[in-house]
Amino acid sequence: MSEFGPTRERLERIADRMPGYPQEAMRLVRLTYHLQKSLRDRANAVLKQFDLVDTSHTVLAILYGSPGETSAASRLSQACYEKPANLTRICDELAARGLIVRNPAPADRRGVMITLTAEGSALAEQVLPAVSAALTAAYAGLSAAELQQLEALGARVLQAFDGNG
């Protein structure tokens, strides 16, 4: 459901009941959640035909975009914004399908390197364009300048969380 009106109305009622409530900022927070859920739902609808979910797609995309199609498990977990336990579960599923392999890290026996197999790379080459087409449609009504502005504003919000804004 992409209707945001009811959320806007609830936030207005909260602001009426709580003087000083940061309604504008909270509206943006809720809009961000709403947008993320809509994007994830749209991605998962496309990914279903490949027997993938959003997180497994993210793992494939990160590995496909990494040098040598390889990443340390710890870096992969950070890049996916996933806890190590969930990443392990996702990687177990991808490994069982023959899409990735795990190897010990060359410099650290405790570390694990995750690499796409040829099958994983081939699947990424099918999935990435399909998901990209479905998701970029959400931004079709924005100009190149608006897209750059939206990216810059989003980056500023992230910097504020990091204490650099």
The per-residue pLDDT for range 125-138, each reduced to its tens digit, is 999 999 999 999 99
Return the domain boundaries, the chain: 1-50, 51-165
Q: Is the pLDDT of residue 165 over 60?
A: no
Interval 49-56 mean pLDDT: 94
CATH 1.10.3720.10 holds for 51-165 = no
Assign 156 a pLDDT band (cuts: 50, 70, 90).
Answer: very high
> How far, CA to CA in Å, does 2 sit from each of 8, 32, 34, 52?
13, 12, 7, 23
Give, as one character, the DSSP assignment of residue 38: H
C-alpha 89/C-alpha 86 separation (Å) is 5
Q: Is the pLDDT of residue 162 over 90?
A: no
Q: What is the pLDDT of residue 61?
A: 97
Give, as one character, the DSSP assignment of residue 111: -
C-alpha 142/C-alpha 91 separation (Å) is 36
